Amino acid sequence: MPHLSTSLTELAARVAELEAEREMTLRLAQTDSLTGLVNRGAFTGSLCERLEAAKAAGTSVALFIIDLDRFKNLNDTLGHHAGDILLAELGQRLRDEAAPHEMAARLGGDEFALITEDADPAARADKLVALLGQPQTIYGRAVTSGGSVGVAVFPRDTDNAADLQRFADQALYRAKSAGGRRWSSFDEDLREEGIRRRTLEDDLRRAIPAGEIVPWFQPIVDSMTGRTVGVEVLARWNHPERGLVSPIHFVPMAEELGLIRAIDEAIFEAACARTAPWVADGLIEVVSCNVSPRDLLDPSFSRKLIGRLAKTDLPATALTVEITETFLLQDLGLARRHIERLAAKGVNVALDDFGTGYSNLRALMRLPIQTVKLDRSLIDDVGRDARVSKLVASMLHAARSLGVRIIAEGVEHEAQALFLRSAGCDRMQGYFFARPMDGDAMEAILRETEIPERLAATG
């Protein structure tokens, strides 16, 4: 039956073809197209397999996580194409240098990994750092990014793949914080730090529903009359063991963990409830709340905020939302939509920390912002450094002609207050007038009108 055998051969060939295709697809799915190295998915699988094998054989495995030190910078100055060339070249070098028993991978961006069974991780790490420090030629130019390496070792540090990656990451972070172009190995110090941080993270997750994060208040004072016209709401964490924790310690962590929105919402609600009677009684006009740049990236942020505000007794016209220019410049269109939507309801938007970042004035001026908060770093030097004083005075002058209201932050001394007032600054805030305080203390002061006289008496 020649017929049947031909079709069988054909069939066999077709099966082999499909097999090869499948293998190719599989390989492609496991390969990073830019560098030809194994990609993150395949790397994770392979790491688990290698740990299993090492466990059975009683050998050790070292994991190196590699991150370029100046990649973002090079990418920004030389362009994305140059960045790609650099990464591809580095991938090639890693592959060329790797021993047969090693595996190099690209985890994404400018992050790479190397798995080895090498008995001497320190020597291997030295070699990696040296390789990363070698210049590369891009567009005929010698470019050096330099890189840092974090190391964790199985079974010395842990017996599982997830922890091994986390520990190597922790070590990498330490190497970068120490200035880069070096390697660091996981050790007991990092283990303790990790546990401390995890405990704090767990505490923070519990703290929000437990109501431990509470609003404090700092007076905002009218420069001319010296009266308290508003308050800025500042979050505080009443930690059951650590006592009062400052937002500089938990806000960045909350942003990383995706908890900042829950915190901002809890603070907003509590602050509105507390301040609504102060506004109703005519004690203050403005309640100013901070929002994280993270929240603002949500296109429905302003709509949701208006919805939540409507459920409180605080009139929309008494609310100011403080946002930072980092967010504004990330997405000007979205920023404008948020600001306009809030303004339509009477909610004011203030630009916080002005004078710290890029201060891309031209972009910012196109947004309908009525209030700007001058950052403490500028106010610090007012009256001390003639050039800064001049700069601040001319900023105040410009703001005035544009109809923008300026609030000076971090006013600590009388001399600063007097200078700012004479230069036409509308409102001020700072330790000279009052430190942030809890709701009871704030209410007591507002009802007694103690601080208001402070500047009036001195001026």
Q: Which residues bind Ca ion (CB under 5 A)?
A: 290, 322, 352-353
Length of the chain: 459
Which residues in the 183-222 window bind ligand C2E by CB under 6 A? 218
| Beta bridge mates, 288 | 232, 320
Torsion of CA 114, 118, 120, 122, to 10 degrees: -10
Task: Give min distance, CB of 268 to ligand C2E, in A.
Answer: 8
Question: Quick check: 413 and 431 in contact, CB under 8 A?
Answer: no
By DSSP bridging, strand 228-239 and strand 213-222 are antiparallel
Please count the residues of this chain forming the interface with ligand C2E, following the rule CB under 6 A: 24
User: Closest CB to ligand C2E among 112 and 354?
Assistant: 354
- Least separation in angstroms between residue 233's CB and ligand C2E is 6
Which residues partner with 105 through β-bridges?
Answer: 38, 113
Between residue 231 and residue 260, which ones bind ligand C2E under the rule CB under 6 A? 234-235, 246-248, 251, 260
Q: Is 430 in the site for ligand C2E (CB under 6 A)?
A: yes
Helix (H) or strand (E) holding 250: helix 247-257
Segment 349-368, which members bind ligand C2E (CB under 6 A)? 352-353
Alpha helix positions (H), 345-413: 361-365, 376-381, 386-402
| Residue 365 · residue 402 · CB < 8 Å | yes
Letter for the amino acid at 256? E
What is the phi/psi pair of residue 300, to 5°?
-95, 10
CB of 409 to Ca ion, least distance (A): 5
> What is the C-alpha to C-alpha distance for residues 42 and 179, in angstroms, rounded to an integer?
31
Phi-psi map region of 195: left, alpha, beta (phi>0 left; psi -120 to 50 alpha) = alpha
Return phi, psi of residue 383, to 5°: 85, -15
**CA 165 and chain centroid, separation:** 21
Out of Ca ion, ligand C2E, none, which partner does residue 371 contact, by CB within 5 to 8 A per kind? none
CB 141, min distance to ligand C2E, A: 40
Choose the binding region for ligand C2E from 16-24, 92-100, 342-350, 426-434 (rule: CB under 6 A): 426-434
Tokens of 100: 């047969």
Do the beta carbons of residue 172 and residue 184 sit within 8 Å?
A: yes
User: Using the rule CB under 6 A, is 428 a contact of ligand C2E?
Assistant: no
The minimum distance between CB 429 and Ca ion, in angstroms, equals: 9
Query: Of Ca ion, ligand C2E, none, which one sits near residue 392, judging by CB under 5 to 8 A according to partner kind?
Result: none
Smallest separation, CB 322 to ligand C2E (Å): 6
Position 382 contacts ligand C2E (CB under 6 A): no
CB of 307 to ligand C2E, least distance (A): 19
Q: DSSP per residue over 187-249, as a string?
A: -HHHHHHHHHHHHHHHHHHHHTTTT-EEEEEEEEEETTT--EEEEEEEEEEEETTTEEE-HHH
- The conformational region for residue 146 under phi > 0 = left, psi -120 to 50 = alpha, else beta, is left
Q: Minimum distance between the CB of residue 429 and ligand C2E, rounded to whole angstroms?
A: 6
The CB-of-408 to ligand C2E minimum distance in angstroms stands at: 10
Residues 280-299 that bind ligand C2E (CB under 6 A): 290-292
- Interacting residue with ligand C2E among 431, 449, 450, 456 (CB under 6 A): 431
Give the nearer residue to ligand C2E in terms of CB position, either 355 or 452: 355
Give the range of 109-117, 301-309, 406-414, 419-427 binding ligand C2E by CB under 6 A. Answer: 406-414
Residue 430 touches which of Ca ion, ligand C2E, none (CB < 5 to 8 A by kind)? ligand C2E
List residues binding ligand C2E (CB under 6 A). 218, 234-235, 246-248, 251, 260, 264, 267, 290-292, 352-353, 376, 409-412, 429-431, 436
